[in-house]
A = this chain, B = another copy of it.
């Protein structure tokens, strides 16, 4: 159990990560906002999947996922095939164009981090990744427990 001031500092740090996130989104190619990049990256990393699974990995509502996916599909980077095992579902799969774009995105991300994180060791980055994964697992999105307190 950590001290109170540590928790308050953590809240500020989490809030400030937004600046880094926005830096990442600024290096993206046109037509590819960060929501689209996240969709492509996760499907590239985990392979084809259904909407529900993607929504989990993105940690956003399925309605949001649906919008991001529609954007990516419209641009020919992703295909939505019907799932033969459950016709309510659709399987998401990268197209060749999507794979090309994903390579490009990886290059841009790598270039940026290599530039700004040049003095970070492989272990440093790995450790930060591990702690962020742990944080996400510990907190999750808590939507089930959420109750916005009235005044």
Contact = CB atoms under 8 A, between A and B. Distances in A.
Chain A's interface size range is 35 or more
Given A10-B128, A139-B116, A19 B122 contact: no
Nearest to A59: B19
A115 to B, nearest CB: 9
Contacts of A23: 139-143, 146
A15 B33 CA distance: 12
Contact of A14 (B7, B21, B146, B151): B21
A91 interface: no
A16 B136 contact: yes
Majority secondary structure of chain A interface residues (helix, strand, loop or mixed): helix
A141 B26 CA distance: 10
Interface in A8-34: 8-24, 26-31, 34
A149 to B, nearest CB: 6
A9 to B, nearest CB: 5
A138 B120 contact: yes
A2 to B, nearest CB: 4
Interface of A: 1-4, 6-24, 26-31, 34, 37-38, 41-42, 45, 58-60, 106, 108-110, 113-114, 116-122, 124-129, 131-133, 135-136, 138-143, 146-151
The 7 A-B pairs at the shortest CB distance, nearest first, are namely A19-B59, A2-B125, A13-B132, A19-B141, A7-B113, A23-B142, A26-B146
